[in-house]
Amino acid sequence: MSAATGTTRQAPSALPTSSRPAGVVPAQRSGHDPHGSHGPVQPAVRRTLIPRGARLTPEAFAVRHRALTAVLLAHVPLLAGLALFWWPAGHADHAASADHRDLVWVGIGVMLALAAVGRVARGQGLRAAAVSAGLVVSSTVLVHVSGGMTDMHLHFFVVVAVVALYQMWTPFLVAIAGVAVHHIGMSLVDPTLVFDGRSQEAPLLWALVHAVLLLAECVALAASWRFTEQAEDARRAEQERAERTAAEQLALQAEVAAEQQRAAARALEELQERTRRTAEIEQRLVTLTDAGTRLRDGARSASQLMDDLVSVAGEIGAAAGAAAGHAEQAAATVATSSEAMHRLGDATQQITDIARTITSIAEQTNLLALNATIEAARAGEAGKGFSVVAQEVKELSGQTARATQEIDGVVANVRAGTQEVLAGTAQIGEAITAVVAAQRTISAATDEQGRATASARAAVADMTGTVERVTGEVEQLAAARD
Q: Are residues 142 and 213 in the same domain?
A: yes
Quick one: 121 and 180 in the same domain?
yes
State whether 143 and 167 are in the same domain: yes
Q: How far apart are CA 345 and CA 337, in angstroms?
A: 12
Supply the mean pLDDT for the chain.
72
Q: Does the residue 66 lie in any domain?
A: yes
Looking at the structure, do residues 11 and 157 belong to the same domain, yes or no?
Answer: no
Residue 466 included in any domain:
no
* Of the residues 256, 277, 301, the one at which a domain ends: 256
- How far apart CA 229 and CA 226 sit, in angstroms, is 5
Q: Tell me: do 38 and 106 sit in the same domain.
A: no
User: Has residue 365 got a pLDDT over 90?
Assistant: no
- State the total domains in the chain: 3
Q: Are residues 107 and 167 in the same domain?
A: yes
Do 245 and 324 reside in the same domain of the chain?
no
- Is 215 a member of any domain? yes
Q: Which of these three, 256, 276, 301, is where a domain ends?
A: 256
301 assigned to some structural domain: no
At 43, the pLDDT band (50, 70, 90 cuts) reads very low
Residue type, 469: R
Of 56, 81, 101, which residue constitutes the final position of a domain? 56
Report pLDDT for 9: 37
- Whether residues 137 and 170 fall in one domain: yes
CATH of the domain at 331: 1.10.287.950
- Which range scores top for mean pLDDT: 25-29, 92-96, 333-337? 333-337
Whole-prediction pTM value? 0.40
Which residue range is the domain that position 352 belongs to?
310-461
Q: Range with the lowest mean pLDDT among 51-55, 330-334, 367-371?
A: 51-55
pLDDT of 53 above 70 = no
Q: How far apart are CA 400 and CA 359, in angstroms?
A: 7
Q: Average pLDDT of 50-58?
A: 68
User: Residue 279 domain-assigned?
Assistant: no
Q: Are 75 and 154 members of one domain?
A: yes
Question: In this prediction, what percent of the chain has a pLDDT beyond 70?
Answer: 68
The pLDDT of residue 70 is: 92
**Domain membership flag for residue 123:** yes
In a domain, 356, yes or no: yes
Same domain, 90 and 18: no
Decide if 249 is inside a domain.
yes
Helix (H, G, I), strand (E, B), or coil: what is residue 460?
A: helix
pLDDT of residue 37: 40
Within this chain, do residues 88 and 26 fall inside the same structural domain, yes or no?
no
The residue among 164, 194, 188 whose CA lies nearest residue 176 is: 164
Based on the fold, state whether residues 442 and 452 are members of the same structural domain: yes
| Beta pairing partners, 32 | 40
Dump the DSSP string for 171-239: HHHHHHHHHHHHHHHHHHH-GGGT--TTGGGSHHHHHHHHHHHHHHHHHHHHHHHHHHHHHHHHHHHHH
Q: What is the pLDDT of residue 222?
A: 63
Is a pLDDT exceeding 90 seen at residue 112?
yes
